[in-house]
Amino acid sequence: MFLMSTDRYTSPLSERYASREMQFIFSQDMKFQTWRRLWIALAETEKELGLPITQEQIDELKSHATDINYDVAKAREKEVRHDVMSHVYAYGVQCPKAKGIIHLGATSCYVGDNTDIIIMAKALELVRKKLLNVIRELADFADKQKDLPTLAFTHFQPAQPTTVGKRASLWLQEFYMDLCDLDYVKDSLRLLGSKGTTGTQASFLELFAGDQEKVDRLDPMIAEKLGFPGCYPVSGQTYSRKVDTRVMNVLAGIAASAHKMSNDIRLLQHLKEVEEPFEKNQIGSSAMAYKRNPMRSERIASLSRYVMVDALNPAITSASQWFERTLDDSANKRVAVAEGFISMHPDTLALIAEGKAAKGDVLACARVAGVMAAKQTSTLIPMCHPLNITKAKVECEPVRAGEREDGRVGIHVTTTTGVTGKTGIEMEALTAASIAALTIYDMCKAVDRGMEIMDVRLLLKDGGKTGLWTRE
């Protein structure tokens, strides 16, 4: 089991749903160790191409490639307000003989963008491995059930006979298409390389005293050291943000296939044709323990929806880049996360979870209301101004008996908002959480006027001059 922090906000997308392998790929250790690998590769290449760098300096860098002195970097960043230069300084503290050659001739994007590409490549490789497992299991299931007859549906109306295996092959084919897309995008990934401030490599041309041949050899040599077939031949200061769009579209495609399959399974479970595994001590419902809710399929659907919506963000970033580079890719990381909780009677929670509330799907309405409220924050709160919001997500999760320290049951609301402008986005996240909770109250007040909205608060703010803030 993963050990979860209980005194501060942690994302359930990481703590609850991500594998340990994927958690490491996106960890701080992976990020900053990769920065150091890139600095070592740059120094080695510059030495091999004739710059006055000694092997002793290279060896010193390698001796501290993985033991990141986070405390020194963090303290330095408070002074200089620059993450890359803070880590250059921290690395130099550990490597005093080599500190003058760390990051030589490079820009921040040398470590930032190349690391992003390396992390995406590793993450895609892990996704590929898991996708192949899904394809193999579905193929075995389809073959085993190929002769078992069942009724096909069109428009969810009885149509003509098919087989269980044939229906599973529909899911299988879509995942195979996703695999083909993933392989194409993964195999096309290249490093940014060392392109300098505007993609012309001018700083390296100066370092090598105008020797264009040595500058031309720089990128291929770095790429080989990092295990890549090459670098993008043309770039500005960053790699093209079209790359992020292509990667996210692949993930969104896999999510769409998973969502379609999970929806079919949920419908078939209602028809009593298939059933999810139900463990010996599993509780189906806090009020009706005998129920067998398709919770795995519901989880697949909700996480798939999250991924599919997220695919829009890099597309907007790619479209809004100006010339050689703008900071839209940094500014759109201005994200705020807020939460709220509405406590209620266990019977009310059961009513909501089972979709039996008189006014309809309570959680779906609350999600829509929260998103709408985030977009209308400036009309609700006088000192807030209109924002071109690029991200507004609302998640509503049932909290059952024993899941909170105070013993309350109810709905936990988590909201995430993002913006590309140079402005805060916290109020939009808080407004979304508040309105989502109020919507739940409004739809259920006829049966439970004692519901209580509480714990509406900001959990995280990232981006802008103040950087990352999290609730302690």
Give the separation between CA 379 and CA 235, rounded to whole angstroms.
42
DSSP for 254-291 reads HHHHHHHHHHHHHHHHHTTS------TT--S-SS-TT-
Give the separation between CA 265 and CA 267, rounded to whole angstroms.
5
**Residues 163, 197: contact at Cβ < 8 Å?**
no
Give the separation between CA 213 and CA 197, rounded to whole angstroms.
20
**Residues 270, 355: contact at Cβ < 8 Å?**
no
Instruction: Please tell me which residue in 108, 285, 330, 378 is annotated as part of the active site.
Output: 285
Give the separation between CA 105 and CA 200, rounded to whole angstroms.
12
CA-angle at 396, arms to 393 and 402, nearest 5°? 145
Give the separation between CA 297 and CA 24, rounded to whole angstroms.
26
Structure tokens at 326: 């703008």
Q: Is the dihedral of CA 429, 257, 123, 180 positive or negative?
A: negative
Active site residue 155: yes
* β-strand partners of 391: 418
Give the phi and the psi of residue 325 in degrees, each rounded to 5.
Answer: 175, 140
**Chain centre distance of CA 8:** 19
Active site residue 235: no
**Residues 232, 117: contact at Cβ < 8 Å?**
no
CB-CB neighbours of 81 under 10 Å: 12
Give the separation between CA 6 and CA 140, rounded to whole angstroms.
41
Q: Which residues contact 6 (CB under 8 A, 6 or more apart)?
A: none
Which residues does the annotation mark as catalytic? 155, 285
